[in-house]
Structure 1
């Protein structure tokens, strides 16, 4: 029998994690209310700016697991995923591949206050096959 668990994807930008926790907290609360699985993802850059990071995917996987363990989603099954590439494309691709029911994400880079909706969120809203819930900072 196929798995029919409701799946919520929450992309997390670990570079802004101190400023960007509202979407994660909202996604965790939604997952608990719906008895859903929470897929927490981050996207590593294709070219790492920090030359001290030798294995980008392993580094960001460690950072993502640390974030999740420091911010537990009590009573929710959580899976972490690291992708590599353009953030907006990888979020949509992951959602399509995993047949995600809902994406919960931040509205914009928290340092950019001039935009109502950031370019990543705008792309995801336009291209995702599932519903997208935008959390404003």
Structure 2
């Protein structure tokens, strides 16, 4: 039996110079197929590397809004969220707080250090209380 999917979370890493939005596109398609709402989220770092950014939450909120404007999700009810902290923990925490049904996220190609240290995607898969759909980049 197909589970009801009412809310999908798609975390976006806006820090990559060349971004691949396969997970975002997949999340939109999944929302359309299932009639679900979408939360698009990004996580601001605790300490911003760029010293020109005084208010990282405000900065990343503007960047996320620009991303959503540049990549419209026509026909999907969408909300943006910016969190601050460790990316892997904030994704899991947001999913739990909002009772998300599915997380759709990118995963970089595995490297040796990924197997030793773990990746954001592997942490989310291991710790999330909901299903996680990982899109390979």
Mark yes or no: TM-score above 0.5.
Answer: yes
Instruction: Calculate the aligned-residue CA RMSD, in Å.
Output: 1.9
8 A Cα contact 2:5 2:102, kept in partner = no
Name 2:48's counterpart in structure 1. Answer: 48
1:15 equivalenced with 2:12 (yes/no): no
* TM superposition shift of 1:79: 0.2
State the alpha-carbon separation in 1 of the partners of residues 122 and 10 from structure 2: 15
Which structure 1 segments of 5+ residues have no match?
none
Name 2:103's counterpart in structure 1. Answer: 103
| TM-score, normalised with respect to structure 2 | 0.89
Q: How does 1:1-137 map to 2 (within 5 A)?
A: 6-16=6-16, 18-108=18-108, 114=111, 119-137=119-137
| TM-score, normalised with respect to structure 1 | 0.89
Structure 1 moving runs of 4+ over 3 Å: 115-118
What is the SS of the residue equivalent to 1:62?
helix
Aligned residues: 131
Which structure 2 segments of 5+ residues have no match?
none
What is the SS of the residue equivalent to 2:39?
strand
